[in-house]
Amino acid sequence: MSEPLPVITVLRPADPDTPLHTPPGLEALEGRAEIRFTTADQLPQDIAGADALYLWDFFSGALQAAWPHADRLKWIYVAAAGVDKLLFDELNESDVVVTNAQGIFDRPIAEWVLGAVLAEAKDFARNYRLARTKTWDRRETKRVDGSRALIIGPGAIGREIARLLRAVGIEVTGAGRTPRAEDPDFGVVVPSAELPEHVGEFDIIVNAAPLTPATRNLIGPQTLSAAKPGAHFINIGRGASVDEPALIAALQEGPLGFASLDVFAQEPLPAESPLWELENVMIASHMSGDVHGWREALAELFLANAERWLAGEELINVVDKAAGFVPRKENR
């Protein structure tokens, strides 16, 4: 009698009109795994007997409620870089391996940050506004070469940001849990616990930190009020890493000169948020990593790991569940 096929439950959005409602490429596993599609409402019954969970609906928090039914689960793939929406105590304490999509979004997000830096320095927003009234306003703009940037979160995304900013002559420094005097991408990494003591030295402050208990509200009133006058704050990490009322105050009253924001404490950003009304704010809709082909790339990464999993090989992008991210292999 042949062995039963391993079961992979795929959690997909309930709305069938969502772009790429079903992840592509699963036919490659035909005959080697049973694919079971489900939605958040049906997950408790469809996770029973499943060996793996494919979180294609990557912002869903449905697993926690379904956890008592996860009687055979060994591996979870989250089709996202951040895992803060997924992790909970019972999962963290289990032997279930979690992998994420680290590497898919690094370059697109870094390009977005570089674009935001250049757009603010060259005053592109005012050009668009002046064009509506056909106003010719020749003026001086800022030079980015020679400016200094602090990148909070020296992970894979933060490092790609550092490489692109250095390419246009920006001096970069990192901020993370573990300070380092010699780092290949940042040179120096200062302790994130001491942000108020360091942010005043930088023209650009980028939050690229994952959301963990240690980074929730990491960037608060003390840090924001200590920023260099006119500094540009960029957030592509998580909205909950920043005290949003303190950020609004720092933009309205100083010292911040501008903010480029892709993530917020509540998403979509509520219509009543003062951030919508501030001219020194650029708002994006949590889209800094969403380039053409990103969903296909997420699916390809799952298939690459599924091949490893079926062969009993070591998985890539294994998340340290206690830390909330994939640790670096070097310079830990």
What is the structure's pLDDT at 331? 37
- What pLDDT is attached to residue 3? 85
- The letter for the amino acid at 286 is H
Q: Any catalytic annotation for residue 238?
A: yes
What are the b/e assignments for 307-328, b being 16+ CB within 10 Å? eebeeeeeeebbbebeebbbee
* Segments in the chain below pLDDT 50: 330-332
Q: Is 137 exposed, middle or buried (0-12, 13-18, 19+ CB in 10 A)?
A: exposed
pTM of the model: 0.94
Q: What is the pLDDT of residue 332?
A: 34
Dihedral pair phi/psi, residue 35, rounded to 5°: -100, 125
pLDDT value of position 330: 47
Asked if 286 is an active-site residue, the reply is yes
Q: What is the per-residue pLDDT for 1?
A: 55
Secondary element (H or E) of residue 245: helix 244-253
DSSP H helices, 55-189, are 63-66, 89-92, 106-121, 124-132, 156-167
Q: Which of 267, 277, 307, 313 is catalytic?
A: 267
User: pLDDT of 7-39, one tens digit each?
Assistant: 999 999 999 888 889 999 999 999 999 999 999
Exactly one of 36, 286, 295, 308 is catalytic; name it. Answer: 286
Domains of the chain plus CATH, in order, are 7-104+292-310 (3.40.50.720), 106-283 (3.40.50.720)
Residue located via tokens 């930088």? 202
